[in-house]
Structure formats: C-alpha cells, structure tokens
Structure 1
Amino acid sequence: MDMAHLHKKMKKGRPYYYVREIARVDGKPKVINQIYLGSPERILEMAQGGNSMPKKIQAQAFGALWLANLVEKEIDLAGLIDGIVAEEKDNAPSVGEYFLYAVYNRMIQACSKRAMPGWYKATAIQHIRPVQIDELNSQMFWFKWNQVGERQLQQIAKDFLRRISRIESSSSDCFMFDTTNYYTFMATDTESVLAQRGKSKEGRNWLRQIGVALLVSRDKRIPLYYREYEGNRHDSKMFLQTMEDMFRVMRDSAGEDGALTVVFDKGMNSEDNIAAIDAREGVNFITTYSTHYADHLVHVDLDRFKPVDTRKNRKLAQKGREDDRLLAWRTQGEYWGGSAQWWLHTIH
C-alpha cells in the first residue's frame, strides 16, 4: 500500500484537497481510503485549531449499486418474482428481494453467497435499498430458491424479458442467436439433468457444464429469448428443438408483416436445420459455412476481394488505413444437400 498523500481536484476553477491511500487490488491500483479535507481556507482553519475537522469518515461503494437500483425501479424484478412465487411472510427479505440482492452482486462484483454479507457491509446499500445484511447468507438463499418451481421460473423469465422489451422496444427485423456453456464444479454423483460433460468452450471437458442459448435483437441487443440445455447436447440439435419458440418471439417483436433474418454461427448448421428454416416463408438467415465442405473457397485469389461498404471501413479510409479494411468476395453455389442456391460472402 502507498503512503497517504494529498490529492487535488479542481471544481469550477477552485482547488479542493483530499487525503488518499492507494493499494493494488487484483493487480490494479485502487483508492482504498479517501478523506475530504476541503478548500485551502478550510485546511488553514483546521491547522489553526478550528473545530471543522471531520470526526468520522467511512468509505463505501455507492455509484454502481445506485445505478443498479435505478434500473430496478424501472423493471421491478423483486415485485415481479413475488407476484409469481407465493410464500409465507417472515422477517427475512422476500424471494424476489433476495434474488434482487443476488443480482446486484452479480452485476457489480460477483462473489459466493457465503461471502455476500461481507460484500454488502462494504457498500452503501442501507442508503440505497435498506436490508438486514446478515439475512443475505447462503443458507437463506437456498431456502428461498427451493420455493421456486420450474414452471414459476419459466414464467419469471418470460415476464422479465417482456418487461425489458417494453422498456427498450425494438424495431429490428434482424436477430442474433448464439450459444455458450458454463462449467461447474459439481461432483459426478450429484444428480442433475442439465449439468453434463461435453465439449467445453473453455477447454475444461472434464467438468460438468450447462448450455445456454440466447436470442437478441440487432438494434437494441436486448435479450428476447433464452433457453438452458444439457451440457452434452450438440448446438445444432438444440437449435432445431428451439426453432419454433424462437421464431414466434421474433415475429412478436418485429410484427406480422415483413421478412425476418436470423444470424447464427456454424455450430447450428445442419441439413435439417437449414431445411426447417427454408420451409418458413419470410424467414432469411445469415451463417458461416465451414470451408472443410467447400475448400475451393479457400483458394480464391485476393485480388477478387473488394472493400465492404461499412461504417468502420469508411472511417479507416478517411484515416488513410485502406489496407486495414474488411474485404469480401461474393459468389453463389448449392450447399446443404443442394436443395437450393445460396449467396456466399467470403470474408478476408
């Protein structure tokens, strides 16, 4: 930790002073203690024995927590959950409130449920959304969680995403769909349908994992649909099973008229999936295609590629960085069983 030092800030042309202590936290310098001294006149008064010296100073994390609570005032996640999950009243936070305090922690500085009370004691939560901090412990969390059934959880997710879409309404007819997985340290003999060993994106294939799929709108990038799935299920099979729900959500968001476009990566590619999309009128898609199945695309001469008309490319051209622009070559061919022709953009 560095020694305490004076720190000057200029506000409206006037200097104000602080005593600061800085230490390295997770390898980065961070202010761990700060005491406000005031203007030069106030410091002089204190030096001459005035009675304006601070009696007690307490530093608490405030800003991020305040912003998180500001978002909650619009969404009312706690009220939404409590409206779905009925529970007996007690002196502890409700199911919705406990979930909300866990969400705040995840948003700002995620820690274990066991460490959560200690984290909250270092924040200004009592000035933002007062709570009995000692009640925010791991035992109470699991007690509350066990009161939420599978159908209730699905309803919570559905209503939550609906509220988000009302607050940040989307007008886009283009949507992005992607999947990921999260590894766990769950023991082999612990029963779980979702947590299974599969191909881990983190390379930890020996750990049990859970898959999560997410659909977002292109313009707002807000979540519209999600689904968790078994960690050993292939993305392409999950994609086919969720397609009906996914396209219904897309249509609800974009309206009944007009064409829809969904963007996904090659992990969702299969002949069955492409055929299912083709069978839907007014639905287009953008995806990647492995050059393993079309290796002739790899050997196209670079001089056939042209700059793509994108905002980033235009900015690079203005800066004289033409060589850094994204290039593409457009062609067409028959793929996925030759059932139809597709336009291809090969990117360099």
Structure 2
Amino acid sequence: MATIQSKITNGHKYWYIVESRRVNGKPRPVVLEYLGKADDLLKRLQGLRDSLKLKSYSHGLVAKLLQVASELDICNVLNGFVHSSKEYTAEKPIRNNMTAGASLMLVAIGRACVVTSKNGWAQWARTTSLEYLLRTNFSKVDSQHFWDAMDAFPVEAIESAERQLLENTLRHYNIKMDSLFYDTTNFYTYINTTNSRCHIAKRGKNKQKRMDLRKIGLALVVTKDDMIPLFHHSYEGNMNDAKVFRKVIEKIKNRLEAIGADTKSHTIVFDRGINSKKNIELVESLGMKYVGALTPFHHKSLVEEASTRLEETVVNGKTIMAYRTFTNIWGRDMTVVVTISDKLKEGQIRGIHTFLASCDAAISKINRMLSNPNSKKTESRGT
C-alpha cells in the first residue's frame, strides 16, 4: 500500500509517494513518485485541471493471464526445475528482481497477447498494466534477460515441467480430451550455417518458401474443443511428417497415460501427410483409436463411387455433402467418409478463374502484337 512520506534535505521538506516492496527478499521503501515541496504540490494541484494528462493501458488480457498463471502455479513449477550451469551465476538466478520462472512466464504472456521479439517485450509491457500489477519496473528488461532465464532452464527438464503444468491444468479446468488433433509445422530461423551448437535447425522445404534458411519443425497434439496442447516435440527441419509421426506416437501415448487418460477412449486425428500403411499399423499396435485422411488421387474408384451417392448430412449445425461406406484400405476394413470441402472448392474455383484470366491476358497481348506489324516484337519474329 502506497503512503505519502516526507524527507528533510538542506532544511527543506520534500514529499514523496512511497511503497514498501521486497527487494531480494527484504522489505525496502520504493519511491513511486516525487511530489516536491508543499507549495509546489499545491500549485500542481491548483493547475491540475489545465495540465491533466491521461494515458491508457491494456489491462484485461494481461490481468486474466496472470490470474491463470497463478492458478496453475506456473512460476513455482518452472522454478522447481531451474538449475543454472554457469559458474558465475547462482543456481537459481534472479535478474531484475525476477526469477527465471517468472521471466519465462512473462515472455509467454507476451506471446499470447502480441507477436513481438524478446528485445521488444519491455516496450510492449509498458503499454499494459503489468508493471503496476507486479509492482516492478521493466526498464532494464531486454533480450539478454530472457536468454539468461532460458539458459538456466535445462533442456532435459522441459518434458517434466510440461507434464506437471498439464496436470495442474486438468485439475483446475474441465478439459475434454476425447478427440485429439495432431499436426506439424515448421519455422525458418536465421541461425548461421557455421553454428554447430544447434543440431535440429536444418535446411529443407518450408511453408514460407525460405529454403535458403535453416528451419526447425514442431509437432503438436491439442484438444479439439479448447486447443489445449497436451504434447509437443521439436525436431530436425529436414525430417518429413510421416517419419516424425513414427518417432513420437509412442511418446504421445505415454504422455496421455501419464496424465491419467484412457487411450482406448480417445481418438487421435491426423492429416494425409501422416497417413501411411506403416503408420496405421503402428497406431493400431499401440491400441489407439484414430482418424486419418486419404489422398483422392490414390483412391479414384472410391471418389467416383461417392460422386453419385453424396447425401446431405448435418454436422455441428452445418449441412454438408458426404458419403459414408465400409471398405478395405491397406489390407484392413475401415469406415470411410467422402465429403466435399466448400472452402477448398471455392479456392480451387478461384484458382481456375485466375488461371483463365492470365490466359486471356496472354492471348490479348499476342493479338495486339499481331495487329501491329511495326512493333519490335513482331519484326523480331519476322511477321
């Protein structure tokens, strides 16, 4: 709680707004605002109406995220695994009056609110009520602050910390886990070619078309309704999706069992990039239920069969065209649903119109060239 206190300097009394805070575990008076002499303060108050300035701060989202972080005990969980290997730092270092766990939590809150770099985090934070809510100052928080916090958190502890946080989440919230979505993505980086410390950044095809840069892959398993991540795996950027799936599917099952989930009552859903005979056999050998996707090109007869048998079906209040059958896929009888994606259909139609428009433009250009025998292009072709 803030109080107004005075201090006499050179025979003059000056007033301050002071608050007691803990600094390195000890209570210390912290000056929040210098008010000056009584006469100066009176003049400021009298002229307040003319000189009043207002500034707004983003509050709701950061306040709610801090509340959730407190409920899940994120700081204490992370700090329980912090162990700095640097000789010149404490085992559990504190930087800018913040523990490593608190720093990691805050950078996660920042990423949940807005996409910003670690170096730009403090600038963003000062547009919110975080400094007020945490009773601290972020003026010295830079990218090095977060790098030091990350460096103090052992890589081998990530899985255990993730599992503990997930267990806390399931205790506090009713998370439905009957349907789980698995997917992969990748991110290009600016890690130098000569950097041999990072082993998973590899060159390969990526969605951003930056094949000249080293990239890192990320596999995620999330719940259907709330998109709560239950499992993650970072992997080499040049690994294909099917190979990654074979590497992690057993780990996914182990994670589900570790948090008390019955894998026989859960269904894991993955796209056609994962689907293969070997992967299906592996999932079935683990006793897991699954939903995959097939490539229409490899099942033309099934598509032709469905084209005349599509029926209107209501799914989540939306009417779609679908065909359901039971057929043999890769030597095993499976239920197959063929449906038309309106979004994909619209995109394909737009692509066709775009292609036709480019063809019309090319034909018009040729006609203009042919109609003008004096043009340079026409002469160069001997027309």
Task: Answer whether contact 1:196 1:232 (CA < 8 A) is retained.
Answer: yes
* Counterpart for residue 119 of structure 2: 114
1:328 maps to a residue whose letter is A
Instruction: Report the CA distance shift for 1:257/1:275 in structure 2 as closer, same or farther (over 3 A).
Output: closer
**Alignment RMSD (CA, Å):** 2.5
* Counterpart for residue 344 of structure 1: 336
Q: Would you say how many aligned residue pairs link Structure 1 and Structure 2?
A: 286
Task: Answer whether contact 2:81 2:153 (CA < 8 A) is retained.
Answer: no
State the shift of 1:170 in Å: 3.2
* Counterpart for residue 158 of structure 1: 163
Instruction: Report the CA distance shift for 1:157/1:197 in structure 2 as closer, same or farther (over 3 A).
Output: same
Task: Answer whether contact 2:92 2:152 (CA < 8 A) is retained.
Answer: no
2:320 maps to a residue whose letter is L
State the shift of 1:231 in Å: 1.0
Instruction: Report the CA distance shift for 1:153/1:61 in structure 2 as closer, same or farther (over 3 A).
Output: same
- Say if 2:212 is the partner of 1:218: no
* Counterpart for residue 265 of structure 1: 271
* Counterpart for residue 333 of structure 1: 327
2:154 maps to a residue whose letter is G
Instruction: Report the CA distance shift for 1:302/1:208 in structure 2 as closer, same or farther (over 3 A).
Output: same
Who wins on radius of gyration, i.e. which is larger?
2
TM-score normalized by the length of structure 2: 0.68
Task: Answer whether contact 2:184 2:220 (CA < 8 A) is retained.
Answer: yes
* Counterpart for residue 60 of structure 2: 63
State the shift of 1:232 in Å: 0.8
Instruction: Report the CA distance shift for 1:55/1:259 in structure 2 as closer, same or farther (over 3 A).
Output: closer
State the shift of 1:346 in Å: 0.7
* Alignment gaps of 5+ in structure 1: 1-48, 314-324
* Counterpart for residue 184 of structure 1: 189
The sequence identity of aligned pairs, in percent, is 25
What aligned pairs does 1:165-244 form with structure 2 within 5 A after superposition? 165-191=170-196, 192-244=198-250
CA distance in 2, matches of 1:162, 1:287: 28
* Counterpart for residue 94 of structure 1: 99
State the shift of 1:255 in Å: 4.3
- The C-alpha deviation readout for 1:135-161, integer Å capped at 9, x for no partner, is 311122222222221112222222222
CA distance in 2, matches of 1:171, 1:114: 37
CA distance in 2, matches of 1:77, 1:329: 47
What aligned pairs does 1:15-94 form with structure 2 within 5 A after superposition? 55-86=52-83, 87-90=91-94, 92=96, 93-94=98-99
CA distance in 2, matches of 1:174, 1:204: 34
SS in 2 for 1:268: coil
Q: 2:316 aligns with which of 300, 311, 316?
A: 311
Task: Answer whether contact 1:173 1:261 (CA < 8 A) is retained.
Answer: yes
* Counterpart for residue 39 of structure 1: none
Task: Answer whether contact 2:245 2:279 (CA < 8 A) is retained.
Answer: yes
Task: Answer whether contact 1:75 1:163 (CA < 8 A) is retained.
Answer: yes
State the shift of 1:72 in Å: 1.5
Task: Answer whether contact 1:262 1:286 (CA < 8 A) is retained.
Answer: yes
Instruction: Report the CA distance shift for 1:139/1:217 in structure 2 as closer, same or farther (over 3 A).
Output: closer
CA distance in 2, matches of 1:229, 1:288: 23
SS in 2 for 1:266: coil
CA distance in 1, matches of 2:315, 2:169: 30
Runs of 4+ in 1 over 6 A off after TM superposition: none
Q: 2:154 aligns with which of 149, 155, 159?
A: 149
State the shift of 1:67 in Å: 2.0
